[in-house]
């Protein structure tokens, strides 16, 4: 397919390619995204309300009712072909780093090493009082035992999952990702609607874009290549071409 060949050629020629991923890269691992028609989480829940800092502080029972199942589902999921190919491309020096909006940790499980988790992750929680850290399993054990919100063993204050909620400030990883793109000559975007702020500003910093996404995005018109196919299939196609031309 022509777009796959073109994308592979751009990757092969790039000096500083970075990947930017969103929820769409993980749907093939069984985790629903937000905006896919029919299956996206927005269809069943008001995520803006339920995944917000206000919900955590003022409606903790509802917050954990919605998010407990989601976190469990993500924690039990494994990386798919698209995550694995990105890790392989990083190992080969073709992709320098992955900036991800995802909290599911699947890039880490796939073997990527330079990862900027700009919306946090589901591996741990932090006490909002003393800053003590705990694992997500420890946090969830408290929730399962009826402690909502979960409380810190040291100081008794609420423990918040290390996820960036709506209304939260962006973490240092976001500024680091922003700076990383100063020298980026190709941004490979995989599985993102590119409408969530402030991440949707990141592609503006890079001249050359390759977009792999099932639905159109606001950046398609200025991308070098747009591949409207499933990310696993598209990334495996790109890997095959890179192998054929001796880059992998
Ligand atoms: P989004 O839901 O807004 O968009 C996902 C895009 O991926 C859609 O445009 C869809 O067409 C596309 N898509 C779905 N399946 C695909 C596939 N197999 N191959 C290619 N494209 C596919 O997601 P977003 O842009 O990441 O923004 C949503 C926010 O939701 C992010 O902030 C993210 O933190 C959060 N989120 C994360 C997860 C996760 O960690 N896995 C899951 C749901 C939501």
What are the residue ranges of helices labelled H in the chain? 2-13, 47-50, 53-58, 60-75, 81-91, 106-110, 136-144, 172-180, 231-244
Residue 11 CA to residue 17 CA, distance in Å, equals 7
Task: Report CA-CA distances (Å) from 92 to 155, 181, 186.
Answer: 46, 20, 16
Cα angle: 67, vertex 70, 72; to 5 degrees: 105
* Catalytic (active site) residue 107: no
* Predicted TM-score of the model (pTM): 0.96
What confidence tier does 128 reach under pLDDT thresholds 50, 70, 90? Answer: very high
Which tens digits make up the pLDDT trace of 74-98?
999 999 999 999 999 999 999 999 9
Nearest residue CA, atom 16 of ligand 1? Answer: 24
Q: 209 forms bridges with which residues in the sheet?
A: 187
In the predicted model, is pLDDT for residue 148 greater than 90? yes
Q: What is the mean pLDDT of residues 2-24?
A: 98
| CA gap 235, 227 in Å, rounded | 10
pLDDT tens for residues 34-60?
A: 877 776 666 666 777 888 999 999 999
SS3 call for 188: strand
> How far is ligand 1, taken at its centre, from the CA of residue 191, in Å?
6
The dihedrals phi and psi of 124, each to the nearest 5 degrees, come to -155, 175
Ligand 1: centre distance to CA 128 (Å)? 28
- Residue 116 pLDDT: 98
Identify which of 20, 24, 170, 229 to mutate to test ligand 1's pocket (most ligand atoms within 8 A of the CB). 24
Average pLDDT estimate for 196-216: 97
Q: What is the pLDDT of residue 42?
A: 64
Q: Give the number of C-alpha atoms closer than 13 A to the C-alpha of residue 208, restricted to the C-beta side.
A: 17
* pLDDT at position 160: 98
**Which of 29-43, 116-130, 197-211 is predicted with the least confidence, judged by mean pLDDT?**
29-43
CA of 23 to the centre of ligand 1 (A): 3
Average pLDDT over residues 235-248: 97
Ligand 1 atom 26: residue of nearest CA:
22
227 burial via Cβ count (<10 Å: 0-12, 13-18, 19+): buried
The answer to whether 88 touches 248, Cβ cutoff 8 Å, is: yes
Sheet (strand 120-127) strand order? 133-135, 120-127, 159-163
SS3 of residue 152 by DSSP: coil
**163 bridge partner residues:** 120
């Amino acid at each position: 397919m022509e777009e796959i060949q073109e994308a592979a050629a751009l990757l092969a020629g790039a000096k500083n390619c970075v990947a930017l991923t969103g929820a769409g890269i993980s749907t093939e691992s069984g985790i629903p995204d937000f905006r896919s028609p029919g299956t996206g989480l927005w269809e069943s829940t008001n995520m803006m309300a339920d995944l917000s800092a206000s919900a955590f502080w003022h409606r903790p029972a509802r917050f954990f009712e919605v998010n407990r199942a989601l976190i469990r589902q993500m924690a039990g999921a494994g990386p798919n072909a698209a995550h694995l190919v990105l890790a392989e491309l990083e190992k080969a020096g073709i992709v320098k780093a992955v900036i991800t909006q995802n909290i599911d940790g699947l890039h880490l499980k796939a073997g990527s090493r330079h990862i900027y988790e700009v919306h946090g992750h589901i591996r741990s929680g932090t006490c909002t009082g003393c800053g003590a850290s705990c694992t997500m399993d420890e946090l969830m054990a408290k929730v399962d035992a009826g402690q909502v919100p979960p409380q810190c063993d040291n100081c008794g204050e609420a423990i918040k999952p290390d996820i960036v909620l709506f209304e939260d400030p962006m973490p240092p990883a976001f500024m680091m990702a922003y700076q990383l793109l100063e020298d980026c000559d190709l941004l490979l975007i995989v599985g993102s609607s590119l409408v969530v702020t402030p991440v949707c500003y990141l592609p503006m910093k890079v001249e050359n874009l390759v977009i792999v996404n099932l639905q159109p995005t606001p950046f398609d018109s200025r991308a070098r290549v747009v591949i409207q196919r499933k990310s696993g299939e598209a990334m495996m196609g790109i890997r095959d071409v890179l192998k054929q031309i001796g880059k992998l």
